Structure 1
Amino acid sequence: MTQTNLSLKKLKGIKPKGIKTKTVSLTEKIIQASEQFVEQFKDETFRGENSEQTRDEVYYECLNYLRSDLIKFPKFDKRHVDEFIYAAANQDLNMIQSQLLGTFSSCLLHVLTERYQKENQKASFCFDGTNNEFKYLFWRCKLIDELLVENFKGDHICSHIDNANILINRSLKDPSNLALAGSKGNIDLIWAIDVSGSGMGGIASGQGHAGVVIANHIFNNPANWGMCITNVGGNGRADLVIGKNMDGFAPFGLSGANGSVGLMYLDDLKDTQPFMSTAHIDYYFIHTVLCSTLEEKKYANTIHSGHLSHEELVCRAEDQNRFNSLTAQYKLNEILNFTSDKAKTKPADQLMKDARKIRSIYNQIKPELDKLQDKRDRSLPPGAHKRK
């Protein structure tokens, strides 16, 4: 990475002697700093074998600058992040510039979350884009408590997020949103509502962990191969995955590839081959699959192809009693109550309350879900590594 320094003087600018300057608001200072940040690192390529390290170095350099500067402004709050987002939206930037601006937004959210946590407040934030475009918004953010992002245009929104308690995307229409979320850390609840595009790939992959992943009213561009939630739990772990009202080819292709999914609940999927994959993978593991609307025979060819390992496949139409028993054991109906069509239009604060209830239910059933992962470890092929 090019050796640079985000010094206070460089980012704030040097005032010429003898010239009076107007008072600059905190939001204006933040916008100026973001412009300097993008300009300073725009020639980085973020490619090659050290690209991840370079991105992290840039992230932490920006984060440390904002930590040192924003601490001087005790009134720094969510409204300043909102104002920055609206000021920075709808720009015609290349990919590197978009990634840098997204990184800056993530560092703002990171610092704000730290401030709330230091004051023992819940860092719960909802950002409504009102149909503005902000590519890479909150890209690679490394610290989130509760976050809802809705009504934005732009790709890679909330992608590569490492850690969060609750992460919700609603009414986003471009590709790769939520992609690789939780792939390097832990996210208790990832919830996508009324989104389209080939996004959400690789959730809880890369040896990361997701507690509950809900794909709710998901629609795909027919020209794209696959849909949203492909490779969930690939090389990682997802405890509970719920797919409701989804279209697109093979929406769960590569799920559990060299990793694991504990329990998967599927309802109203337009494709009858949700697990289809042509890739060569050492093994797949999804412990239990519950199918609410399709018959087992419609899944059989894909659920057994590609060496997909599962201990139990239960379809409501073929074994109502077992289906009901498992949905009760894992409190699925309590969770599903929050995933109706109303979730698309509920006020943001109410949706976040519902998400907290889902997370609470997850914590109640987590010991049972852990047992499924334990069974996975006992059934691994030779040489496969165990997942904590």
Structure 2
Amino acid sequence: MKQTQTEQILTQNNFALKKLKGIKPKGVKARDKTIFESLLEPIDYIMDKHLHRIDSRIYQKAQVKDEIDKELESDILKSVDLTSNDLKNCIYALNIIEKGQGAWNINQRSLLGIYTGCLLDLWTKRQKEDNKRAVFYMNGEGIIFDDLFSYTKNIDILMLDNFKGTGICGLTGTHKGNVNCLITKHIEGLFTAERTGAYAGNAGLVIASKNKLMNPFGVGGHEGFADIVLMNNCELPDGGQVGNYAGSYKGNVNMFLSLFNRINYISQDLAHDGSAECINVDEVLPDTKLHSEDLDLVYSWSARGKSNEKHNLHNKVFGKKAFQRYQEFISMFPAMQILDLVEEVGNSTRSPEDILLEIDTLYKQSKLKN
């Protein structure tokens, strides 16, 4: 069901203008009614019970997330047969409801985003129990949804396309969680996929493609881990940083490959007190803080151990070494092939799920070779 279809159902029943508790939409199939009620009705209860505990503290939000997870699994949604389409419809409906009720404050939006992460975790767990892959793709059609899927703990394959909002997919796979493959494309907003795999978490393949205003800092940081991060053709104006705090604070990022992004600032805090390697093949904006006419396209730097190794970006000899390192990496890892497939998702007769599984296969095969 698309956003417009969801909106028609909700509007016909004055759904978006009522209090969430007790909503019983008419004129829809019994199963649709059950799913709408089952997924939307708990929000009042969750807001009443947990909203006062939501603030800027990461560990506090993670604790609230764990408590909601337990309530949904053991009681509230125990008998609800949740599907990926149900989850998509719920996201569209929540976006419409917020428009009808007026703007929610930052803590309400944060808790709502955490709730969507709980739903995705529950669906993923049930897929795994049924020996099925949990491949989730959604084109948001440009809707605004702050903190969507934030704090999701375990992700098989997730791709979000064409959303707007702050903190989308933030802090996924953290606190001993695991992200196998996370892809964001055409996302407009700050802090997209920030700190993926951080805080003793784990992330495999993390891709950001054609996003705007993105500042994906802290990936694999705080005793966490991220294997491969691909950042492709994103716009980072006004000090947007590449690799900021990636692998920092005893974390580790095997490779942060930044390709064809438009940037005007390079992070000075790559792997602060941690470990990471970053290769950049980027377009430096005219109003840049890099001040390097020799840089052109390619540079790389790395930080291993407790102290960062800093390089003179004007050094042409170093630039040659950077290009060699770039060629070496892409000869071992099919980055371009994977990014072509990311572009194909949503623009092909092939199903998004099939393409995403192919991306996952390429990633896994490259890991075996290396």
Are the counterparts in 1 of residues 153 and 172 from structure 2 also a CA contact under 8 Å?
yes
SS in 2 for 1:89: helix
The AA in structure 2 aligned to 1:115 is R
Q: CA separation in 1, counterparts of 2:228 and 2:151?
A: 20
Q: Which residue of 2 aligns with 1:66?
A: 72
Q: Which residue of 2 aligns with 1:117?
A: 128
Give the alignment of 1:325-340 within 5 angstroms.
327-328=327-328, 331-332=331-332, 334-340=334-340
Count of equivalent residues = 321
SS in 2 for 1:132: coil
Task: Identify the match of residue 160 of structure 1 among 171, 182, 194.
Answer: 171
CA RMSD of aligned residues (A): 3.7
Q: CA separation in 2, counterparts of 1:352 and 1:275?
A: 37
Q: Which residue of 1 aligns with 2:252?
A: 237
Q: CA separation in 2, counterparts of 1:95 and 1:261?
A: 33
Q: Which residue of 2 aligns with 1:38?
A: 47
The AA in structure 1 aligned to 2:356 is M
Q: CA deviation at 1:93?
A: 1.2
Are the counterparts in 2 of residues 158 and 177 from structure 1 also a CA contact under 8 Å?
yes
The AA in structure 2 aligned to 1:335 is A
The AA in structure 1 aligned to 2:209 is I
Are the counterparts in 2 of residues 294 and 317 from structure 1 also a CA contact under 8 Å?
no
Counterpart check, 1:78 vs 2:112: no
Q: CA separation in 1, counterparts of 2:77 and 2:264?
A: 46
SS in 2 for 1:43: helix
Q: Which residue of 2 aligns with 1:127?
A: 138
TM-aligned CA distance change 1:145 to 1:343, over 3 Å: closer
Give the alignment of 1:1-388 within 5 angstroms.
24-47=33-56, 51-68=57-74, 69-73=76-80, 75-89=81-95, 91=98, 92-162=103-173, 163-184=178-199, 185-220=201-236, 222=237, 224-227=238-241, 229-235=243-249, 236-262=251-277, 264-270=278-284, 294=297, 308-309=308-309, 319=320, 327-328=327-328, 331-332=331-332, 334-340=334-340, 343-347=342-346, 348-349=352-353, 351-366=355-370
TM-aligned CA distance change 1:329 to 1:174, over 3 Å: closer
Structure 1 unaligned residues grouped into runs of 5+: 1-10, 14-21, 277-290, 367-388
Q: CA separation in 1, counterparts of 2:362 and 2:218?
A: 22
TM-aligned CA distance change 1:254 to 1:45, over 3 Å: same
Structure (1 or 2) with the larger CA radius of gyration:
1
Q: CA separation in 1, counterparts of 2:255 and 2:287?
A: 20
Q: CA deviation at 1:251?
A: 3.7
Q: CA deviation at 1:214?
A: 0.3
Residue by residue over 1:349-374, the C-alpha shift from the partner in whole angstroms, topping out at 9 and shown as x without a partner, is: 355135314422441355xxxxxxxx
TM-aligned CA distance change 1:28 to 1:266, over 3 Å: same
- Percentage of pairs with the same residue: 20
The AA in structure 2 aligned to 1:193 is S
Structure 1 residue runs of 4 or more that deviate by more than 6 Å after TM superposition: 272-276, 313-318
Residue by residue over 1:231-287, the C-alpha shift from the partner in whole angstroms, topping out at 9 and shown as x without a partner, is: 21122100011111112222443112211114x3322332599997xxxxxxxxxxx
Residue by residue over 1:154-199, the C-alpha shift from the partner in whole angstroms, topping out at 9 and shown as x without a partner, is: 1100001122100000100111111111112011000001001142
TM-aligned CA distance change 1:317 to 1:358, over 3 Å: farther
Q: CA separation in 1, counterparts of 2:252 and 2:185?
A: 24
SS in 1 for 2:60: helix
SS in 2 for 1:195: coil
Q: CA separation in 2, counterparts of 1:217 and 1:254?
A: 22
Residue by residue over 1:1-30, the C-alpha shift from the partner in whole angstroms, topping out at 9 and shown as x without a partner, is: xxxxxxxxxx987xxxxxxxx995122221
Q: CA separation in 2, counterparts of 1:309 and 1:275?
A: 19
Q: CA separation in 2, counterparts of 1:308 and 1:275?
A: 19
TM-aligned CA distance change 1:231 to 1:53, over 3 Å: closer
Q: CA separation in 2, counterparts of 1:265 and 1:332?
A: 14
Structure 2 unaligned residues grouped into runs of 5+: 1-19, 23-29, 347-351
Q: CA separation in 1, counterparts of 2:289 and 2:317?
A: 19
Q: CA separation in 2, counterparts of 1:295 and 1:79?
A: 42
Q: CA separation in 2, counterparts of 1:213 and 1:127?
A: 21
Are the counterparts in 2 of residues 293 and 315 from structure 1 also a CA contact under 8 Å?
no
